Each structure stands twice: as C-alpha cells, then as structure tokens.
Amino acid sequence: MGREPYAVQTMVYFKPAGARGQALHQDQYYLRVNPGTCMAAWLALDDCDEQNGCMQVVPGSHTWPLICTVGADTTQSFTDVTVPLPEGTPLHAVMMRAGDVLFFNGQLVHGSFPNTSADRFRRALIGHYIAGEAAQVGRWYHPALRMDGRPLDLADSPGGTKCGIWAEQNGEPMLSVDGFVVVDPDTHD
Ligand SMILES: O=C(O)CCC(=O)C(=O)O
C-alpha cells in the first residue's frame, strides 16, 4: 500500500453447512476510501474448498474501477447487491488451508458461494485496512486506527461515488465511467 495502513474493521464469518455465501462484490463499494483504496487480509480458520464455499475471485479485477452494482440472488447470498460481469469472465476458486491468508485490494471482484457441505464450517477472520493517505472512509468504519492503536479522526466518505458500467468496443467488453473507457479487461491495464 506504499506506507503504513490504517486499520478499520475485523469480522469473523462462521458460514456453517447450508449457509449462503456473499455475492461477488468489491470491498471499496462498502468502505469508500478516498483517496486510495482498502486492503483485506482474509485468514482461513478452516480448510476451504468449493464444497464449503471458499473464496472466489475474478483474476485481474484488482485494477478495475468501482463497478455499478445490480441486485443479487439472495437465495445464494446474504447480501443483496452484486457486480455484473460479462459472460465468460473467469472466476477462480481460492483453495486455502486453515492459517493461510489471502490479501486483496478494494477493487478485486470477489465473494463466495453457499456452503454445500453436510457438516463443515468455513470460518474466516477478516481484517480490513485502508491506505495510509486516506482522508475519508465510509461512515460505518470509524474510528480508523493507526497500527499502534491510536485513533484517527477521518471524515465520512459520501455515498454515490462514480461507478463503471460494462460497454462494448470492437465486440469486446470494456468498462466505462461517465462515457470514458477506463480499463481494457483483457489487458488489465
Ligand atoms: O468470506 C466470504 O465468503 C466473503 C468475504 C468477503 O467477501 C469480504 O469480506 O469482503
């Protein structure tokens, strides 16, 4: 992240057998860090695979802008918004052993499917950090803490920031914000 981050949140997900997942999303949609973005440290507390609903990520999406959300299927997800993706966008299941940590930034499109195992938990401890130059963060993430635990007085980040929509150029999907192409998903530039 370039310099020491600020800490804003920890979460424990229990995700017992039969529980829904969390639809594909970008953490920056919730944390609204400005300037900069957030970083998650997702620590597996149980071994995770596709059966118990491991993490799923869209490779390369860490360079995308924030994408405008659409409604999610709440029979599969406990959250009700998701990121639309062009058909055929690769999704990568992240198999992890208990104790492994997955680090990813606030732009990475990720989520998980339901835990379809008969009796296995898929617990995780998730820490969210934000860029050390951030001046604003979403209203639910205060107070931000320096890494030595001292609190900071950051401003609330306003909602309704710009987001990208999928369009087409020469038959290829591309992201556009306010009519400007911002990324070519094939090159991840
Ligand atoms: O653990 C999961 O299934 C999803 C967690 C997640 O996407 C998040 O914490 O942002």
Contact 39, 62 (CB under 8 A): no
- Distance from Cα 49 to the centre of ligand 1, integer Å: 14
* Residues 109 and 22: beta-carbon distance below 8 Å: no
pLDDT above 90 covers a percentage of the chain that reads 86
Expressed in angstroms and rounded, the spacing between residue 169 Cα and the centre of ligand 1 is 32
Mean pLDDT of 3-19: 96
- Whether pLDDT at 164 is above 70: yes
Q: Which residue's CA is the closest to the ligand 1 atom numbered 5?
A: 111
Look up residue 9 and give its amino acid. Answer: Q
pLDDT score recorded for residue 183: 67
Cα–Cα distance for residue pair 120/116, rounded to 1 Å:
9
End-to-end alpha carbon distance in the chain:
18
DSSP state string for 144-179: PB-TTS-B--PEEPPS----BEEEEETTEEEEEETT
Give the pairing of strands 165-169 and 172-177.
Answer: antiparallel
pLDDT digits (tens, 9 = 90+) for 87-135: 999 999 999 999 999 999 999 999 999 999 999 999 999 999 999 999 9
Across 143-152, average pLDDT: 96
Considering the four listed CATH numbers 3.60.15.10, 2.60.120.620, 3.30.30.60, 2.40.40.20, the one that applies to the domain covering 6-161 is 2.60.120.620
- For ligand 1, whether the C-beta of 110 sits within 6 Å is yes
- Ligand 1: does its nearest atom lie under 6 Å from the Cβ of 124? yes
Q: Which helix (H) or strand (E) holds 27?
A: helix 27-31
Is the beta carbon of 21 within 6 A of some atom in ligand 1? yes
Q: What is the mean pLDDT of residues 150-160?
A: 90
pLDDT at residue 169 tops 50: yes
Check pLDDT > 70 for residue 137: yes
The tokens describing 50, both together, are 């596709």
- Average the pLDDT over each of 20-24, 48-52, 155-159 and give the range with the smallest value: 155-159
Ligand 1 centre distance from Cα of residue 170 (Å): 34
Q: What type of residue is 21?
A: G
Q: H or E segment at 30?
A: helix 27-31
Q: Ligand 1 pocket, 83 CB below 6 A?
A: no
Q: Model confidence at 186, in pLDDT bands (50, 70, 90)?
A: low
Which two three-digit tokens encode residue 183? 């990324």
For residues 65 and 163, the answer to whether their CB atoms sit within 8 Å is yes
Mean pLDDT over each residue of the chain, to the nearest integer:
93
CA of 22 to the centre of ligand 1 (A): 6
The per-type count for the chain, helices as H runs and strands as E runs, is 1, 15
Token readout for 33 is 């860090």
Q: Which helix (H) or strand (E) holds 183?
A: strand 180-183
Task: Judge if the beta carbon of residue 20 lies within 6 A of ligand 1.
Answer: no
pLDDT in tens, 40-84: 999 999 999 999 999 999 999 999 999 999 999 999 999 999 999
Dihedrals φ, ψ of 155, to 5°? -80, 160
Q: How far is the CA of 13 from the centre of ligand 1 (A)?
A: 8
Cα(180) to ligand 1 centroid in Å equals 30
pLDDT score of 185 more than 90: no
